[in-house]
Amino acid sequence: MPDGESAGGAPASYLFEFRGKGSEYFRIWIVNLALTIITLGVFSAWAKVRTKRYFNGSTFIGDHAFDYHASPLRILVGRTIALALFIAYEVSAAVDPRYALLSLLLIGFAFPWLVNASLRFNARYTSYRNVRFNFTGRYFEAMIAYVIWPIAGFSTLGLLLPAARRARDYFYTNNHTYGGRPFRTEFSAGRVYGLVAIAIGVFILAAAAVFAVVFGTEWLIVNKLLHGHYDPKYSITAVSVATGCFYFLFMSFAPALHTMIVNLCVSNTIFDGRHKLKSRMSPIVVAWITVTNAILTLLTLGFFYPWAKVRLARYEMSKLSLQADGDLDTYVSETLEGQSAVGEEIGSVFSFDFGL
């Protein structure tokens, strides 16, 4: 049910909620892992669908959950073709580096198609209340957002990367539809630059504070408590603590900045010209969850991974809401043709990520 709906047709707030549990996903994950190993990777297509269905089915808006409809067989075919292309690239690189360069150029020209195919596949096989999503991006739009802008960003030593990020988020958001109705976001590149400046400033201040406190404490111990008698172990401890804190801050920077930009994009997104999305994630909390998830997953040799995914998904969804100006029951699903899974699976093999 909507939260805080008022009389007189006023907008109603629909809260997102992730109801999955780490223990539930662990059972799915461990079976997926075992069967994928036993079948030499063949079961990975079924594993992907089972995972997607669990996370979609555990994500609710009000009393209704999302769903995922992709066929494992379609994904398996796409994954087989993607793997064959990857092997062909590796073989060509081993035979002659010039062939590898040619392959990379071909991949560069194919990349926009790959982006669109992947995003369209994911969208068309995702539904909410039996209404499908869709993605309508075109080749040259993807070329600009995912090839030209990143090249411009890196060729200017990162100066244009915030503008490139805005272009990518515009392309991703503004080409998605639900029941044929569009999502639209609008925000200036200047706001992204402002968030980057804030993130860098906070990182510098936090790093300076860490070093000041750690080495100030060391100086106090050596000069006050030991009356000037120097003991190297205190310096070693101080350097170790400062280094650990610095790495923690360094690992936190990217997820914190990413969270701020996602908040900006989502909170400026309107669906069907009237329904407003809102994201209120805390950059500090997301950074803490991300970094501690990585540490705990490493310490448990990977077995914490299911709890890590659920932990992050639960927090992200808890901070997402939809201000609906009207009845959401009016949307009817578009009639969509079957979409090939090849694009998404090439993205999986080459480790591409095309989301926000």
pLDDT, tens digit (0-9, with 9 covering 90-100), for 124-176: 999 998 899 999 999 999 999 999 999 999 999 999 999 999 999 999 999 99
Rounded-to-integer distance, Cα 234 and Cα 34, Å: 47
Cβ neighbours for 101, distance < 8 A, ≥ 6 positions apart: none
Low-confidence residues in the chain, pLDDT < 50: 1, 4-8, 349-352
Cβ(254)–Cβ(286) under 8 Å?
A: no
Element (H, E) at 306: helix 305-318
Q: What is the pLDDT of residue 101?
A: 77
In whole angstroms, how far apart are CA 190 and each of 161, 196, 268, 283? Answer: 12, 10, 14, 19
Cβ(85)–Cβ(346) under 8 Å?
A: yes
pLDDT for 257-291, tens place per residue? 999 999 999 999 999 999 999 999 999 999 999 99
- Is 304 inside a domain boundary? no
> Integer distance in angstroms from the first to the last C-alpha of the chain?
27
Q: What is the pLDDT of residue 232?
A: 61
- Is 93 inside a domain boundary? yes
Q: What is the pLDDT of residue 75?
A: 84
Q: What is the pLDDT of residue 65?
A: 95
- Is 22 inside a domain boundary? no
Q: How many domains does the chain have?
A: 1
- Is 139 inside a domain boundary? no
- Is 100 inside a domain boundary? yes
Q: What does pTM read for this prediction?
A: 0.84
The dihedral sign for the CA sequence 54, 55, 58, 61:
negative
The domain in which residue 76 lies consists of 72-124
- Is 104 inside a domain boundary? yes
The dihedral sign for the CA sequence 249, 25, 349, 172:
negative
Cβ(186)–Cβ(175) under 8 Å?
A: no
Helix 161-174 and helix 232-267, axial crossing angle in degrees, nearest 10: 40
Within 10 Å of residue 187's Cβ, how many Cβ atoms?
16
Q: What is the pLDDT of residue 350?
A: 45
- Is 97 inside a domain boundary? yes
- Is 94 inside a domain boundary? yes
Beta strands (DSSP E) in the chain are 12-18, 59-61, 64-68, 126-128, 131-135, 176-178, 181-185, 269-271, 275-279, 320-324
Rounded-to-integer distance, Cα 59 and Cα 52, Å: 11
